[in-house]
Structure 1
Amino acid sequence: MPRPRKFVERDVVSSASEVFVANGLAATTLDDLVQATGLGKQSLYNAFGGKRELFLRALSEDREEAARAVSEALQHGDASPLERIRGHMLRMAIEFSRSDGRVSLTTRALVESTGEQDQLSTVTRTGIEQLAGVYAHCLEDAQRNGDLPPDANLSSLAMYFVAITRGMELLGRAGVGRAALTAVALDALHVLPGQAGAGPARA
């Protein structure tokens, strides 16, 4: 009869994720993961299949959490769809400018992705598309409200917001301050069709 596992997989994945975020996939060693998770090498192999498989597991969980967080931020409320996106972008500017902030595992994977048709690139691309889908739903609401023209390319605009937020994340990690990231967040909506005449962004 096999011995029951004495660890919680989610806790192990979370601890491994922190290491992967800090070091990246290529630079993370099994010894790093052993130290972070408290599991032996054989236990890691038995439970997850190896370093790359553990990274992909952590990346998938990061992807789901990121999509859930953005979805909650853009949920229906008293604010208009574009106001909800604006508020979300401002919150991201604050979050990404924190001195103790870190990039998400999805963004780390984007940086390391080679663009080849491998599993890492596929999982990373799926995460980006999932985030874009969340923005697209909010933009659809804006279009129904008349805040965006009927011919607006919502798929492209949704991917634009993914690119802006991932870029802000990397800029924050590089030390770009809150004022600069806030300006980016405020200006982001002014490229939307029908919004260009709104004038310069104001805090």
Structure 2
Amino acid sequence: MPRERRFSEPEVLERLTDVFSTHGYASTSLALLQEATGLGKQSLYNTFGDKQSMYLQAIDCAVQRSAQTVAAVQAAASGRAAVVAYFDALVASCTSANPVDKHCIVTSGLLEGIAEAPLAWALTTRWQSTHELLRAAVERGQRDGSIVSAIPSAELAELLIALTSGLRVAAQAGRSGDQMQRSVALALSVLDTP
């Protein structure tokens, strides 16, 4: 008769996500995952599969964590307000007292250059979703007049998503929230230039 599980899978997945986000895929060892979750190797493998499967589930978990930001962007009063809401949430994350919040599993995974096809595809797909979120906000702003730039929305989204990664790195380099907000304001001034 199989033994009853005495742990919460969602809670353990949150801890796995924290470890992968903080340490990256290659540097995350089974020992780190066991230490973070309090589970043995077999329990982890039986519940979540191998390391690759754990990482894929962690990416999905990280995406779920950002659902509130996505909702705020989509509910904003204008396209420009949507872009500002996105960057306000990002800077808040980068300056959080919780060190885990300063890391993004997608950004770190892409910077790591993970070669395994399923992982690279999952990371690139999530990255593209953020690009699309920003592109749609810019396009909306161009339609509603809150963004006056005539630069194509996809090109502006490229700039904004590059800023996203830059802010993550800036946070790791010790930049303050005020410094990051100034960088955001400077970058967003492009939206106000015809």
**Bin of the TM-score, shorter chain as denominator length:** 0.7 to 0.9
Residue from 73, 94, 97 that aligns with 1:96:
94
Match of 2:20 in 1: 20
Match of 1:65 in 2: 65
- Determine the C-alpha separation between the residues in 1 that align with 2:64 and 2:6: 26
- Determine the C-alpha separation between the residues in 2 that align with 1:21 and 1:57: 12
Q: Percent identity?
A: 28
Q: Matched residue pairs, number?
A: 192
1:100 to 1:143, Cα distance in 2 relative to 1, 3 A: same
Instruction: Name the aligned partner's letter for residue 138 of structure 1.
Output: A
Q: Once the 2 structures are TM-superposed, how far is the Cα of residue 13 of structure 1 from its aligned partner? A: 1.0
Q: Once the 2 structures are TM-superposed, how far is the Cα of residue 18 of structure 1 from its aligned partner? A: 1.7
- Determine the C-alpha separation between the residues in 2 that align with 1:21 and 1:36: 13
- Determine the C-alpha separation between the residues in 1 that align with 2:116 and 2:44: 26
1:93 touches 1:178 (CA, 8 Å); kept in 2? yes
- Determine the C-alpha separation between the residues in 2 that align with 1:61 and 1:159: 25
- Determine the C-alpha separation between the residues in 2 that align with 1:142 and 1:36: 43
Give unmatched runs, 5+ long, in structure 2: none
Match of 1:174 in 2: 173
Match of 1:188 in 2: 187
1:142 touches 1:148 (CA, 8 Å); kept in 2? yes
Is 1:42–2:42 an aligned residue pair?
A: yes
Instruction: Name the aligned partner's letter for residue 20 of structure 2.
Output: F
| Greater C-alpha Rg | 1
- For the residue of structure 1 that corresponds to 2:82, the secondary structure is helix
1:107 to 1:69, Cα distance in 2 relative to 1, 3 A: farther
Match of 1:201 in 2: none
- Determine the C-alpha separation between the residues in 2 that align with 1:95 and 1:31: 27
Give unmatched runs, 5+ long, in structure 1: 198-203
Match of 1:32 in 2: 32
1:188 to 1:47, Cα distance in 2 relative to 1, 3 A: same
Which structure is higher in helix share?
2
1:149 to 1:85, Cα distance in 2 relative to 1, 3 A: closer
Match of 2:153 in 1: 154
2:142 touches 2:150 (CA, 8 Å); kept in 1? no
1:116-165, CA deviations, whole angstroms, 9 ceiling, x for partnerless residues? 46122111101111112222222232122134569642223223322212
Q: Once the 2 structures are TM-superposed, how far is the Cα of residue 188 of structure 1 from its aligned partner? A: 1.8
1:15 touches 1:37 (CA, 8 Å); kept in 2? yes
- Determine the C-alpha separation between the residues in 2 that align with 1:30 and 1:112: 18
1:87 to 1:42, Cα distance in 2 relative to 1, 3 A: closer
RMSD (Å) for aligned C-alpha atoms:
2.4
